[in-house]
Structure 1
Amino acid sequence: MVTSKPPSGKTPSVPVKFVSAGLAACVAEMITIPLDTAKVRLQIQGEKAALAAVPVSTSAGVAASPASTLKYQGVFRTMFIISREEGVRALYNGMVAGLQRQLCFASVRIGLYDSVKNFYIDTFKGWGYSGSSTNVELRICAGVTTGATAVAFAQPTDVVKVRMQAQRLGAIRYSGCIDAYRTIARTEGVKGLWKGVLPNITRNAIVNAAELVSYDLIKEAILKRNWMSDNMPCHFVSAFGAGFCTTVIASPVDVVKTRWYMNSAKGVYRGAFHCAAVMWKEGGPLAYYKGFMPSFLRLSTWNIAMFVTFEQFKRFFSKMVD
């Protein structure tokens, strides 16, 4: 991304960006996890297993439910219902796993993005490849690389986070984050913590490329045209735009990932592609955009909180190490 330089004028070092990305992502996670919990509840709502008690014949011959029987409708109503029935604390289910995930995930995918991007640009230029004027294809490659690599470190934390966010009062499967790790490993084997790793690699490679490249390009365009200086308003606008682009591109993979995580132990789906196929039969293309509004609210809010904080952390730590 377009790296904001600290007052000293030096480009932040890799360790500074690595630490800043992890801490900034944790701040964003704490701010947005209620929206993320609402998104997960909306995404898994309406599955055939959950609606077996109220089947309705459809043209596809698949059990469905009239909208009036759906418990959650809209992100803010969903948050209100969860708070009323399960307590406000339920909105923060999975936060510990979420923070663990960001520390080992965001540090890699965001903190190393600039280094990988510059490596690709320098390498391909050395091979005589000129590419586009913005090197957008190499930026995408860098985003895909760091996003996919980061999943190798964070997959178990992602599984635990989603499982805990989805559990409801009266149907508690895990008493806490550590219990979730132990229970999944004991009942499903260690491989249970890596369920859905391939769709998650796909999802995070797409999300990371969309998020970082769109932020990079929007911020670069703003600075090049002198619409804003390299400060908080510029970071805010760039992050908001990145959040919208990412939601549109990544929602289908995100919904499939969530439903696969929640039902992998039950044998409902044979794999991620089977899950996607079942969803298509149940609801067509719109099925892949369940929870779009909470996803957008969460991603735009998360991006704003993360990138604005990330830029400030980079300047603060760069000043400390000078």
Structure 2
Amino acid sequence: MSEVLVVIDHVDGEVKKPTYELLTIARRLGEPSAVFFGAADKADGAVEKVKAYGAEKVYVIDDAELKGYLVAPKAEALQQLVSQLVEKSVAPSAILFSSTFEGKEIAARLAIKIESGLITDAVDVEAGEGGEPVTTQSVFAGSYTVTATVTKGTPIITVKPNSAAPEETAGAGTVEAFTPTISEAARSTQIIASQPRQATGRPELTEAAIVVSGGRGTGGNFEPIEKFADSLGAAVGASRAAVDSGWMPHSYQVGQTGKTVSPQLYVASGISGAIQHRAGMQTSKTIVAVNKDNEAPIFELVDFGVVGDLHSVLPAATEEITKRKA
């Protein structure tokens, strides 16, 4: 069975949930092998975690020579790893990334380097009749759902978070160290300063299983949105109108010019449902809208709709949820 490479998304060895989803998808296509970029002393914890989700091998690449630069060194390292596997006649049948900004850029650079096809932002991946990966994507602002396959080289696929339910299964987790040789060209752009994002205590917007978003109907008061989100353990999002009004930072924006989310539950509060916003959330598994305008376009999309003022509906819902959790 051919290897399927999964690039681990982590922070200091703390593996993020989308990686477990990718490993689950990889098992549909072949034998999952994970690729870890990071400090050698952080690798052991990550190895144990991905091993629990079926990783048969873990290629550990010490990032001492890679960090401090943008994504070019990682793409070069992956190119060399793939080349080594090809030389051993064990070429991977697919390479999977999480659809983050970094993941998509590394995937694109790698596709050029190994002359392979690339599919981004898949919401599902299954094995075709010949075992080839067949992806499902939502395209043209969500107007169409398409299936696609890569017809040249090793399929490189980036997958949106929450596209699969992580399934635990024991893997061998055999560790193989890999040391790439990074060119000077790949080091041509260096990071000279970085600042960690301020923690909110809420899950990352693009990875959250539940997202509660607010729009123009909040009137700039996001307190009901945030309290309701916290009662559900959800992330907070915002529409373009709310961001353009200066009520929330752009990092919270969900939509065609913001972030694309695909949670299990999406609650749109005070959001009209313009196509710009719908493009960023309509692949959510269950959609609930709260809006006092019963003719708002958002109601055409939802699974459940509440016609009412969010400033009354959400506090009441928050109180009931808190009561039931007690």
Bigger proportion of residues as helix? 1
Q: TM-score scaled by structure 1?
A: 0.21
Q: TM-score scaled by structure 2?
A: 0.21
By relative contact order (CA 8 Å, sep 6+), the higher-ranking structure is 1
